[in-house]
Amino acid sequence: MLKSETRQANWRRANPLKYSAHLAVQQAINSGKLNKQSCEVCGVEMVDAHHDRYDEPLNVRWLCRRHHVMLHHYGEDMFPINR
């Protein structure tokens, strides 16, 4: 159980499904089960994993920080899923 009162710890307590999905991605990358791709919008190599559905923790979209922030700010229809 997280005992800290930092902003991150509070977010983790308030969003256990999201936090669990983030940990699953981190573990999958570290184990080699999941490989980072380039940004699906611009091709930049430095990317974040974006979850469209947190109940599918390893089903992620790879977006650079700029496009990830834009997606969260302007909505999910900003960059439609290309699957």
Report yes or no on 50 lying in a domain.
yes
Report yes or no on 64 lying in a domain.
yes
Report yes or no on 69 lying in a domain.
yes
Report yes or no on 43 lying in a domain.
yes
Q: Which residues, in sequence order, are CB contacts of 4 under 8 Å at separation 6+? A: none
Report yes or no on 72 lying in a domain.
yes
The count of domains in the chain is: 1
Count CA within 13 A, CB hemisphere, residue 53.
4
Of 81, 35, 78, nearest to 58 (Cα)?
A: 35
Domain that holds residue 32: 7-78
Using one digit for the tens of pLDDT, what is the confidence trace for 13-42?
Answer: 999 999 999 999 999 999 999 999 999 999
Report yes or no on 54 lying in a domain.
yes
pLDDT band at 73 (very low <50, low <70, confident <90, very high): confident
Report, as an integer, the average pLDDT of 53-60. Answer: 96
Largest CA distance in the chain: 40
Report yes or no on 83 lying in a domain.
no
